[in-house]
């Protein structure tokens, strides 16, 4: 791949929220640093796990600048762009480029499910033009269960034809192995990632680049080991643990379960707060998640 550094475990970071429902940039900077120390190749802020659709472009820009000011390595950041407005997308893409981020993970414009492939290409053209056509790598964010738009091979081909090497990868969050394999094998020049830990070893075997997902918020080290040796005998336990953990999280609020668990891991209740309309999960539901995760050998709560 031309962009061979775009591989490995990329964490779709959760976003810590303060009591005024703003982005807690201090906690976010700490968390991003920890993720990189624990084996993540990059961090992707403000995606689905990061409640990206719940924050304004101004809030995201301010938070990214705060990360830079806190000393974060912005070349390790791949922020998500989640908006149906080409103007808003352009403003955020321009800032991502100006801050020296590795790239941008761009959701197609949601809401109008009837949008044509030509319309999606036109959206990207407009957004990049409004950003000043920066020299910034673009990854496509395929999560049709939220965006109502699927990055099919035909649509990806149109975008690659239009933007050339600026399109460098795809995050396939369909959870379907066959979807990731189709993209990886159809576009060997692109870095194709799964969003699902369970799909990771199988996608790697078919030319995939790794994963961009929420579970590295907690298990970056284990997932890095699985990425590096997916077929090793020692990885069988990692695969089983990964499946147990993601099933427990997905069954109990997904990103809200991750936030509750991080609150326990960091011994800091502030991490459980979410942006309305999302609300923290109940304590009894959180306990179900903690017990399932602790059953895999991961210590959720600090020792007394």
What are the residue numbers of the active site?
A: 141, 171
Distance CA(230)–CA(69), nearest Å, equals 37
Hey, how many other C-beta atoms are within 10 angstroms of the C-beta on 109?
Answer: 23
Which long-range contacts link 182-190 to residues 24+ away (Cβ below 8 Å)? 182/153, 183/142, 183/151, 183/153, 183/156, 184/208, 184/209, 186/153, 186/156, 187/153, 187/156, 187/157, 187/160, 188/1, 189/1, 189/2, 189/165, 190/1, 190/156, 190/160
**Is 49 annotated for ligand binding?**
yes
- Computed from CA positions of residues 61, 66, 69, 71, in that sequence, does the dihedral angle turn out positive or negative? negative
Among candidates 32, 30, 49, which has minimal Cα distance to 41? 32
Distance CA(260)–CA(226), nearest Å, equals 25
- Known binding-site positions: 49, 212
- Known binding-site positions for pyruvate: 49, 212
């Amino acid at each position: 791949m031309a962009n061979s550094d775009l591989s490995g475990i990329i964490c779709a970071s959760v976003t810590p929220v303060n009591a005024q429902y703003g982005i807690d940039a201090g906690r976010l900077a700490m968390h991003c640093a920890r993720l990189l120390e624990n084996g993540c190749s990059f961090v992707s802020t403000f995606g689905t796990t990061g409640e990206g659709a719940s924050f304004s472009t101004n809030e995201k820009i301010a938070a990214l600048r705060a990360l830079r000011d806190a000393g974060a390595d912005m070349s390790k950041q791949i922020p998500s762009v989640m908006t149906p407005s080409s103007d808003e997308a352009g403003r955020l893409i321009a800032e991502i480029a100006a801050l020296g981020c590795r790239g941008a993970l761009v959701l197609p414009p949601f809401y109008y499910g009837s949008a044509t492939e030509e319309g999606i290409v036109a959206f990207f053209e407009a957004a990049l033009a409004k950003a000043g056509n920066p020299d910034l790598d673009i990854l496509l964010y395929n999560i049709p269960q939220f965006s109502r738009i699927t990055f099919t091979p035909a649509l990806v081909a149109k975008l690659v034809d239009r933007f050339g090497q600026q399109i460098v990868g795809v995050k396939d969050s369909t959870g379907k192995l066959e979807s990731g394999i189709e993209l990886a094998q159809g576009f060997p020049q692109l870095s194709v990632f799964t969003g699902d830990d369970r799909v990771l070893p199988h996608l790697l075997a078919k030319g995939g680049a790794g994963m961009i997902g929420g579970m590295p918020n907690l298990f970056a080290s284990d997932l890095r080991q699985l990425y590096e040796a997916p077929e090793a005998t020692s990885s069988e336990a990692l695969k089983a643990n990964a499946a147990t953990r993601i099933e427990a999280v997905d069954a109990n609020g997904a990103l809200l379960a991750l936030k509750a668990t991080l609150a326990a891991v960091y011994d800091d209740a502030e991490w459980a707060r979410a942006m309305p309309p999302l609300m923290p999960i109940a304590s009894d539901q959180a306990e179900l998640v903690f017990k399932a995760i602790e059953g895999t050998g991961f210590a959720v709560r600090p020792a007394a």
